[in-house]
Structure 1
Amino acid sequence: MAETQWYFDASSPGKVPGELLPVLEEKGIPEEHILLCVKSDLNREMVRSDCWVMATDEDLIVLSGSVTLTRRPDTTIFTTKNRLERKFELLTWDVFERKNLSDFKVEEQIASARFTAKNTDGDWLLIANLSNTYKSDFFALARFLGQLASDGKITPDEHAGHGAHSEMFCPKCGSRYIDEERKICPKCMDKSRIISRTAQFVLKYKLQIFLLILMLLLTSALGVLSPYISSGFFYDQVLEKTGRFYGRVLMVLLIIIGTRLLNTVFNMLHSLVTTTIAANMIYDLKKVIFSSIERLSLSFFTNRQTGGLMTQVTRDANTIYWFFCDGVPYYLVNIVQIAVMLVIMLIMNPVLTALSVLTVPLLFFSMRFLFGRMDKHHIKRWTRSRQMNAILSDILTGMRVVKAFSKEKAETVRFDRSSRALAEAETDASTFGTVAFPTVNLLVYISNLVVLGVGGWMVIQGKMTYGILLTFTAYMNMILSPLNSFVNMVYEFTDSLNAMSRLCEIMDAKPDVAESENPVHLEECRGKVEFRNVDFSYEKNRKVIDGVTFSVEPGEALGIVGHTGAGKSTLANLLIRLYDAEAGQILIDGVNVRDLAYDDLRNNVAIVSQETYLFMGTILDNIRYARPEASEEEVIEAAKIAGAHDFIIQLPDAYSTMIGFGHKDLSGGERQRVSIARAILRNPKILILDEATAAMDTETERKIQTALERLSVGRTTISIAHRLSTLRDADKLIVIENGKVPEAGTHQELIAQKGIYYNLYRLQMEAMKNIGIEE
């Protein structure tokens, strides 16, 4: 039986999941007769179900049922791997003759799709339903069935990879990822490699870490010496009349005081070294994590929640610091301490030493078992913690909307649900630790009791002295402390390994949009923009931009018109390479933007978006963000052109007024004007205005339009606006409809065509007249 999740692989499209093999055997179909096998999650009645579509030389088979997980009969509760097997219960079995079907296609709907084919009567026949998750797999199925019909054979796609849903599973072992965003499999990750990679970031502190270990070793050495002085030596050599130092109690007391003082000094030095490196190392780690995150493409951030990334930057740095400066040093020192004490105990009494280590193998296997289980609990707890922080960040950021719609109670419930889920994960982890770890400790204490009993009998029999027994039991009790720390370290080490794996994941992540290895530099940008048959989609098989072609000459003004969601802003994002086009070319002065150096592209293209964002700081700093070296006079001039100077000088501190979180809050129109001033200060050759005046009243809009017209002289301007009257004077207009460009021309030409633009313009003019606004 299959032990892991099956998924469609376009390089071997006939692969059959193990749970279906008994069904095929019962139907008399050998596995090798299956040419294609694709899974769906909806049956033909649109009910959630485990469904498969399989093709043989003659038939197309559609079966549905349910997959259940059961424990393998040959496993026990101590089995850590492959405990479960998958079984399939068949509900429906439909067979279609392939010779009677043709023109296989996927009919896209909103949240699902239909896989259909044409029968011999020319009617469309429903073969299967599916959610969007499996859509790409069925597009491949239609292509492969077409190959079978035309060529009689299938050409596997070696480069297509797996379906989108396979990204939820580890390609090596097939286990489902605990956190689907991270795609890290706890079973398969190479822990030693992760640790060695992360260690490179703390090598600069190797001297300090060495000093930490040295101080711990000296402290441990004094700790090992203390039981012998205060027990065996004191009783057998000082208190016994036959001892070499009989009666010298003061000498022993002075030695004990001296060792305590040295121990205190070493502890103080250890704390001093820890204090000096803690802040710096955590700072370095946070910088590494943040810089690794910041270099990734915009798509990385759109797929992740802000609160989760904040948790990764802040908490993971502290966790990794603990591992290298606390966890590993204590671990190494405890091993040395245990080894030294075992040697001393062996010299004292080999029999008692053998009895005391009987539980070590059982302890080892118990810890190995606990480590794997605790790892899963930790990943679950961290994932839910990140989700809760993301929800909290979302609520606090959108508090204005929450208040406006009186959703305080609803958001409290949402946060409470997430917080409760985190509490349950923490409870599960704590409960597991509370039950498991004391059980391990109990094994150690039982061994201790056995040694104490046998040792007492030896003292009575005169085979060892009372002082030796006290020293031996003291060492046994001392061993308990590092052994307990090993058990408790399981909790912290699993947390640290997960933090390091997240760091390595971020470091290894490749940005979707990367600078060319040999970037082209523009000596002087003229501002010509060309789109040639550009395609783009945020989701597979759902194009937002479809074969768009247009050009803008240097100094021209282009207006982009279209309904909401038509893809207007996407064109702007593609031009500045927030995303890369999937097909076609985007050129500036004849150079593909993929080949341009980032600095040249961003310095020559500025965008004023409908979504303005101002950083926490002064207004002066926010405008100067576009060009930090700009003088104050240049900033003021840019603000005047943007129509922001008048309201800025009326603020208490004028350009030095603090804005952002916890400071002065600007209105939407004021924020937009500061954003425009920021773009003006850059003085780009290509200016993109994406609803740049959307947040302004009519009078302010007219002022800004006049200023922007002056600014646009000598530079290429691309304007996106819903209010079409603002685009009438553009040199050319293009209309975006369903990702295509059905109309292009001047305002007068498009009005004369009486097409999409004409209807949009007429409706807007009528609406504005109805509210008393004359254009």
Structure 2
Amino acid sequence: MAETQSQPKGKSHLKRFYYPLDQSVEKPFNWGQMLRLLTFIKPYAKTLLPGAVIAMFVSTLIRLIVPIIIGKIAIDKAIANKDTDLLVSLVILIAGLYLLSYLGNTFRIKWVNILGQNVIYDLRKKLFSHVQRLSHNFFDKRSAGSILVRILNDVNSLQELFTNGIINLLMDTVMLIGIVAILVALSPPLALAVMIILPIMFYISTKLRRDIRRSWQQVRIQKSRLNSHLNESMQGIRVTQSFSQEKENTEFFDGVNTDNFETERIATKKSAYFGPFVEMSNAIGTVILISYGAHLIIIGEITTGTFVSFAFFLGMFWEPISRLGQIYNQLLIAMASSERIFEFLDEQPNVHEKENAKEFHDMKGHIEFDHVQFSYDEDRIALHEISLEMEAGSTVALVGHTGSGKSTIANLISRFYDPTKGAVKIDGFDLKDMKIDSLRQNISVVLQDTFIFSGTIMENIRFGRPEATDEEVIEAAKVVGADEFIKRLANGYQTEVEERGNILSAGERQLLSFARALLANPRIIILDEATASIDTETEVKIQHALRTLLKGRTAIMIAHRLSTIREADNIIVLEHGKILEQGNHRQLMEQKGEYFDLVKTQFEMLDAL
């Protein structure tokens, strides 16, 4: 059952929404999932892993041999018989064995660290690549912060498991089995006496497992919430400062941060219970060894050398048990993180590509909506079985009030979503039968809030066609009128812009997006409120550039500013997901319908100004 979601301790007038997909779900320990996680080691199973395993066996074997040499040979033979030569030889032998063990451990640590770093690299790369291919529906349900947590924090939390945990688990298991076998061989009664505490220890540790695992699940959830709030705060810093809500936001962050601190503290505290318990077990075992072992020496059941070897092995016996407890904690952390990682990896795009999907060759750009209905969710229908055609090379404008379905039509053309009913076709081909990359390589989308990546102006324009030359980039910028302001920048086209292009004005960012779209040389171009952020002077300047950009291409223009679409070949007026009327500007004005009213309203508003 999902745990109740608590509100952070900080105050806020805003109702902060936490994504239900980050809720903790109580599940049994899934060894199948853990084995799936271990498959990421497979590429290195013939290179790094064998060397690390061999080095581990060498060092472990030496640790098991040395106590026997000291007890059964050095004490019972060399010292008992006062054989100095044998004793010196044994000292040299033990020193050599320890040197060999040191080399084995050095190579083991080196190889497992290289192995672990490679596995983490592969896992993060696979997760990032997979997330990039998911449909828009996936991102609609999650904050950017919660996605970042899984790609960064959750993958990082597996690092200790892959660099140390797995090989240590194998090493400690081998050592534990070896120690138990040797103790039983040396003295079965004494071995049974010192290990009598094990069943009790196993019972208590088992009782702790479920609680510890739930605690680490909560840690992951709180980290996700913390990162989500941080991302939201940084993105909305201008709004926060403009309303003087820094104190309010800090108080809320303090609540989220406190929750994160508390969950981490509780999880760490519970995980730390195992260590002292092992120490207590070790103390009990030592008391039993001394009392019962001394008795066995007195009655002649065991030799002094056997007792000394037993003491060595008993000290070594609790060491792997303690480490196994730590490794188990690592497994709990890894399980909590891997559940969240595999949840993303198992997420499939809502927009599926068929195995025998075809590619577009020489796309013309004729678009057809055949009785298309679409719903973002069951309660809200965005499009009601609309049918329309957009001729290749024509400019089509979509107008209507907010929520009328304009952006939905654009999203369906790019196949960010699939229609609930009906079919969207380009050049007569149903988009569901075509390769997604083949489709989108022929489409450029220019949004109102254009995204500028960190990097140079040149790199941002080249983003749509990485193989373009510098000359082609500059030519595209000149055509859309961006070259003029770019040359005024400190380093021209090599000027570095930070995330979202904060050193540029809204109009300048929009001009860059036009250059980017033109350079990609698409057959279909979608302008979604693309001129809304551009002032009137800049808009007039790019009207000519738009004619060049749209020439010979099918263009879909979404605009509230109706002056930008007067020259469109076809204007489609939408309302609540239905087509009210369509035609060119002159035809619609003569009809004196909805479009006429929209134009009249806008001109009246301009006159009032």
Match of 2:35 in 1: 196
Tell whether 2:60 aligns with 1:220: yes
**Partner SS for 2:532:** coil
1:447 to partner: Cα distance: 3.2
Runs of 5+ in structure 1 lacking a partner?
6-177
**Partner SS for 1:537:** strand
Match of 2:21 in 1: 181
Aligned partner (choices 10, 29, 48) of residue 208 of structure 1: 48
Match of 2:527 in 1: 689
Distance in 2 between residues matched to 1:436 and 1:197, nearest whole Å:
27
Distance in 2 between residues matched to 1:180 and 1:564, nearest whole Å:
28
AA paired with 2:169? Y
Distance in 2 between residues matched to 1:494 and 1:696, nearest whole Å:
53
AA paired with 1:632? D
CA contact (8 A) 1:686 1:717 kept: yes
Q: Map of 1:383-462 to 2, 5 A cutoff?
A: 383-435=221-273, 437-439=275-277, 441-462=279-300
AA paired with 1:540? E
Q: Map of 1:334-733 to 2, 5 A cutoff?
A: 334-435=172-273, 437-439=275-277, 441-661=279-499, 665-733=503-571
Spell out, residue by residue over 1:365-392, the C-alpha distance to the aligned partner (whole angstroms, 9 max, x if none): 3333322222211111111112211211
Distance in 1 between residues matched to 2:248 and 2:276, nearest whole Å:
42
Spell out, residue by residue over 1:524-547, the C-alpha distance to the aligned partner (whole angstroms, 9 max, x if none): 222222223322222222112223
CA contact (8 A) 2:573 2:582 kept: yes
Distance in 2 between residues matched to 1:536 and 1:718, nearest whole Å:
19
Are residues 644 and 453 of structure 1, via their aligned partners in 2, closer, same or farther at CA, if it must alter by over 3 Å?
same
Of Structure 1 and Structure 2, the greater strand share is in 1
Distance in 2 between residues matched to 1:285 and 1:212, nearest whole Å:
21
**Partner SS for 1:675:** helix
**Partner SS for 1:538:** strand
Match of 1:282 in 2: 120
1:472 to partner: Cα distance: 0.9
**Partner SS for 2:381:** coil
Are residues 703 and 323 of structure 1, via their aligned partners in 2, closer, same or farther at CA, if it must alter by over 3 Å?
same
Distance in 2 between residues matched to 1:226 and 1:574, nearest whole Å:
72
**Partner SS for 1:615:** coil
AA paired with 1:401? V
CA contact (8 A) 1:370 1:490 kept: no
AA paired with 2:36? R
1:644 to partner: Cα distance: 0.5
CA contact (8 A) 1:515 1:597 kept: yes
Runs of 5+ in structure 2 lacking a partner?
3-17
Of structures 1 and 2, the one with the larger relative CO (CA 8 A, separation 6+) is 2
Percent identity, please. Answer: 33
AA paired with 1:205? Y
1:481 to partner: Cα distance: 0.4
TM-score, normalised via structure 1 length: 0.72
Tell whether 2:581 aligns with 1:743: yes
Match of 1:131 in 2: none
Tell whether 2:592 aligns with 1:754: yes
Distance in 2 between residues matched to 1:741 and 1:309, nearest whole Å:
37
Distance in 1 between residues matched to 2:40 and 2:423, nearest whole Å:
40
Total equivalences in the alignment: 593
Are residues 276 and 583 of structure 1, via their aligned partners in 2, closer, same or farther at CA, if it must alter by over 3 Å?
same
Aligned partner (choices 102, 106, 113) of residue 268 of structure 1: 106
1:350 to partner: Cα distance: 1.3
Match of 1:238 in 2: 78
CA contact (8 A) 1:209 1:325 kept: no
CA contact (8 A) 2:179 2:313 kept: yes
AA paired with 1:196? L
Q: Map of 1:288-327 to 2, 5 A cutoff?
A: 288-327=126-165
1:714 to partner: Cα distance: 2.0
Match of 1:122 in 2: none
CA contact (8 A) 1:308 1:389 kept: yes
Distance in 2 between residues matched to 1:603 and 1:179, nearest whole Å:
33
TM-score, normalised via structure 2 length: 0.91
Of Structure 1 and Structure 2, the greater helix share is in 2
Are residues 718 and 662 of structure 1, via their aligned partners in 2, closer, same or farther at CA, if it must alter by over 3 Å?
closer
1:650 to partner: Cα distance: 1.4
Are residues 621 and 504 of structure 1, via their aligned partners in 2, closer, same or farther at CA, if it must alter by over 3 Å?
same
CA contact (8 A) 1:359 1:444 kept: no
Aligned alpha-carbon RMSD (Å) = 2.5
1:232 to partner: Cα distance: 5.3
Distance in 2 between residues matched to 1:689 and 1:667, nearest whole Å:
19
